[in-house]
């Protein structure tokens, strides 16, 4: 949601005119703030004001709380896996660990070095009684862990609704199995 959208939608509140200025001031309490320390989204509060057609002034913006709003729940794991870097022809499979997984993505630990935006193939068996999943992923976040390698935040790509539904069912069964 852009600032213009926020100004047009003041939730029934009347926008105030700034003192001594020809501007509109709107208090905001919208989602979409960004906490750079942990790279997470969170709600912000404060005021925005239009001074000119394309210039915005912001005052007293603060991160209210850090949230982890995801489309799907995540399950903490330590599953053995293999990854194949799709953009390095002939690189071969590399051992990895799935640290957590959801129907939308996974955190993958490995010694293989990747860059944000790289595409990888994740091969992982979530449950002993199920077949191995082969999931195409896009690296969206990277954490370096010194000599032990990297943890990549990956988003699953090229999953149709049916596959994503089956993956969600598998992740749900894994969750129940891990809870005992």
Within a domain: 69: no
Within a domain: 70: no
**pLDDT per residue over 37-69, tens digit each?**
344 445 556 655 655 555 555 565 665 555 555
Among 112, 111, 114, 158, smallest CA distance to 133 is for: 158
Residues 154 and 88 in one domain: yes
Residues 162 and 111 in one domain: yes
* Domain stops at, among 34, 63, 92: 63
Residue 155 has which token pair?
A: 């988003």
The pLDDT assigned to 41 comes to 47
Q: How far is CA 75 from CA 34, 87, 155, in A?
A: 24, 28, 15
Residues 50 and 139 in one domain: no
Residues 47 and 80 in one domain: no
CB-facing half-sphere around the CA of 84: CA atoms within 13 A:
11
Residues 93 and 42 in one domain: no
User: Percentage of the chain with pLDDT > 70?
Assistant: 61
The pLDDT assigned to 12 comes to 43
Residues 93 and 162 in one domain: yes
Within a domain: 68: no
Residues 89 and 41 in one domain: no
Q: What is the CATH number of the domain that holds 92?
A: 2.40.10.220
Residues 80 and 24 in one domain: no
Residues 88 and 173 in one domain: yes
Residues 139 and 165 in one domain: yes
pTM across the whole model = 0.62
Residues 81 and 167 in one domain: yes
Domain range enclosing 10: 3-63
**pLDDT per residue over 148-180, tens digit each?**
899 999 999 999 999 999 999 999 999 999 987
Residues 39 and 94 in one domain: no
């Amino acid at each position: 949601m852009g600032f213009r959208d926020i100004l047009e939608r003041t939730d029934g509140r009347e926008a105030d005119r700034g003192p001594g200025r020809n501007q509109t001031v709107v208090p905001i309490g919208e989602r979409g703030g960004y906490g750079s320390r942990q790279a997470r989204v969170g709600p912000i509060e404060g005021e925005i004001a239009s001074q000119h057609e394309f210039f915005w002034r912001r005052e007293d913006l603060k991160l209210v709380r850090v949230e982890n709003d995801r489309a799907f729940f995540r399950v903490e794991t330590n599953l053995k896996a293999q990854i194949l870097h799709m953009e390095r022809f002939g690189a071969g499979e590399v051992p990895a660990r799935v640290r957590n997984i959801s129907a939308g993505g996974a955190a993958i630990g490995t010694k293989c070095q990747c860059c944000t935006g790289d595409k990888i193939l994740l091969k992982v068996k979530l449950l002993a009684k199920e077949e191995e999943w082969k999931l195409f992923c896009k690296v969206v976040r990277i954490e370096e862990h010194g000599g032990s390698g990297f943890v990549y935040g990956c988003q699953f790509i090229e999953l149709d609704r049916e596959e994503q539904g089956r993956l969600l069912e598998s992740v749900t069964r894994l969750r129940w199995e891990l809870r005992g």
